[in-house]
Amino acid sequence: MTNPVLEAIRTRRIARALTAEPIARVDFEEVLKAARWAPSAGNRRLHHFIAIQDPLTLKLLRMVTPGMFQRPVAIVVICIDRAKAMSFGMRPNAKGLYVDVGTAAQTMLLAAYSLGLGSGVVTSFSQAAVSAVLNLPDGLSPEMFVCLGHAAPTQPPGMPTRGHVTWQSLTQWERFPKSPENAPPGPPASAVATSSRP
Amino acid sequence: MAGTMVLTEDEALDLVAFLVTAARTQVDEAAEYGPLRLLMAAGRLAEFIAERVTPETRAFLMGALKQMPELAVRTSDPAGYVAALDTMCRAVGEHLVTHFGLDRKAP
């Protein structure tokens, strides 16, 4: 089965090499508009997006982001608005806060892809350094970057696959069987990655 | 070429920032990212200095030092990963011997 949405989900890839070509402001705004429609726990909207296109700010952000392979021409910094979260009585590590970072990011990745842009997410940065570079107010914690640009024609090899992954290997239908010998097949524990974003 | 400045202040700051922030991110990251980050730092340094070093060092930086895929990690092939690192380290040693003239020094 296929349709444009499924096709986009299946074919989108992280761009680890981007060209220096700027992206149009209108496209950047479309990506941000899409994020507004991302699922949000309780529809609380506890996130804030910082949109960056200034070359010097981009350069400094890259300097404090060891996980950034690409040189993006635009970045959306997804922040958790912790003050707002506290006003709802949420604990600092409430999982909904982080889940919603992911839903916003994935929505932006798909929106960017639909516009012909390259994109990638990065979490390996120093929150303290990023807060200093962006002069973030207290209460906003930077959690993820969505890097944007135009994908370079040649991309570096991606993270190697650890075990053969299919939708079936990721899925358990209904309850787990009781006896160990009936356990579903899956990749060995040593092949399960703890993280896939360098 | 000995004593030649091969790094600008901006480039050095870039590398310092990378190393310090990588020390922090590594606290939360998968342990296998440790070597990856160090190789990334080495790669950045190599790119910064490549145009200002001797042709021999440039060849080393762009050759032996680039053999490891950028995103290689240990879990995908533990033995192969260590072997590739050893190959790079051997190349480092060999280049140091040549560059500093240890092979030309009288016994």
Owner of token pair 């516009």: A115
Structure confidence at residue A187 (pLDDT): 56
- State yes or no: pLDDT of A190 exceeds 80: no
Nearest Cα residue in chain A from B37: A66
Structure confidence at residue A198 (pLDDT): 56
Q: What is the mean pLDDT of residues A107-124?
A: 98
Structure confidence at residue A193 (pLDDT): 43
Sheet holding A140-149, edge to edge: A47-52, A74-81, A140-149, A118-122
Share of chain A above pLDDT 90, in %: 82
Is A122 a domain residue? yes
Is A78 a domain residue? yes
Is A163 a domain residue? no
Residues of chain A with C-beta less than 8 angstroms from the C-beta of B21:
63-66, 125-126, 129
Is A103 a domain residue? yes
Is A197 a domain residue? no
The per-residue pLDDT for range A130-145, each reduced to its tens digit, is: 999 999 999 999 999 9
* Domains: count for chain A: 1
Q: What is the mean pLDDT of residues B55-61?
A: 95
Of A66, A157, A194, the CB nearest to B37: A66
Joined together, the tokens standing for residue A124 give 């390996």
Residues of chain B with C-beta less than 8 angstroms from the C-beta of A156:
69-71
Q: How far, in Å, CA of A125 to CA of A121, rounded?
A: 11
Confidence tier at B4 by pLDDT (50, 70, 90)? confident
Quick check: A148 and A23 in contact, CB under 8 A? yes
Nearest CA distance, B91 vs chain A (angstrom): 23
* pTM score, whole prediction: 0.84
Strands (E), A116-184: 118-122, 140-149
Q: What is the mean pLDDT of chain B?
A: 90
CATH number at residue A138: 3.40.109.10
Please check whether residue B44 touches A, CB under 8 A. Answer: no
Nearest CA distance, A174 vs chain B (angstrom): 31
- State yes or no: pLDDT of B91 exceeds 60: yes
The domain segmentation of chain B, as residue ranges, is 9-104
Beta carbons of A156 and B75 less than 8 Å apart: no
Nearest Cα residue in chain B from A160: B76
Confidence tier at A184 by pLDDT (50, 70, 90)? low
Cα A162 to Cα A155, A192, B11: the distances in Å are 20, 6, 35
Confidence tier at A183 by pLDDT (50, 70, 90)? low
Please check whether residue A66 touches B, CB under 8 A. Answer: yes
- State yes or no: pLDDT of A179 exceeds 80: no
Q: Which domain holds residue A83?
A: 8-149
